[in-house]
């Protein structure tokens, strides 16, 4: 349902718009984050917060939004691929675990 200044419309699913001509079928979105974890450890917590904010609330599912994470410093590592997780909470945990792994590796080297 939509409301405009001059009238109100009720469109049958999956249509919307003033004349019910916009097809709003769900589409798949693939997003791969690429994070530089070299050098500045101080910025690692900001990177973690940003990744969590960007992934929070996304409808993660095989047929909706698929997320991946690639990190690099001296080497490139795929932390998780597009088909690894099917629930947002799994992505959030994986981001947290990746962060701690990366910080430990960077500090020890």
Determine contact, residues 81/68, Cβ cutoff 8 Å. Answer: yes
Residue 79 lies in a domain: yes
Residue 14 lies in a domain: no
What are the mean pLDDT values of the chain's consecutive 10-residue runs (109 residues total)? 61 73 73 78 70 84 87 84 90 75 42
What pairing do the DSSP bridges indicate for beta strands 65-72 and 29-36?
parallel
Q: How many domains does the chain have?
A: 1
Domain that holds residue 58: 27-108
Using one digit for the tens of pLDDT, what is the confidence trace for 18-49?
Answer: 777 777 666 678 889 888 777 655 666 677 77
Task: For residues 48 and 44, give the distance between their C-alpha atoms in angstroms, rounded to a whole number.
Answer: 6
């Amino acid at each position: 349902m939509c409301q405009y200044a001059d009238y109100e419309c009720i469109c049958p699913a999956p249509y919307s718009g003033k004349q019910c001509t916009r097809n709003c079928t769900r589409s798949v979105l693939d997003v791969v984050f690429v994070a530089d974890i070299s050098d500045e450890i101080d910025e690692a917590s900001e990177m973690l917060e940003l990744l969590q904010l960007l992934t929070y609330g996304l409808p993660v599912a095989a047929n909706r939004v698929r997320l991946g994470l690639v990190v690099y410093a001296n080497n490139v590592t795929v932390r998780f691929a597009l088909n690894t997780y099917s629930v947002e909470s799994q992505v959030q945990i994986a981001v947290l675990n990746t962060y701690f792994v990366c910080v430990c590796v960077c500090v020890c080297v």
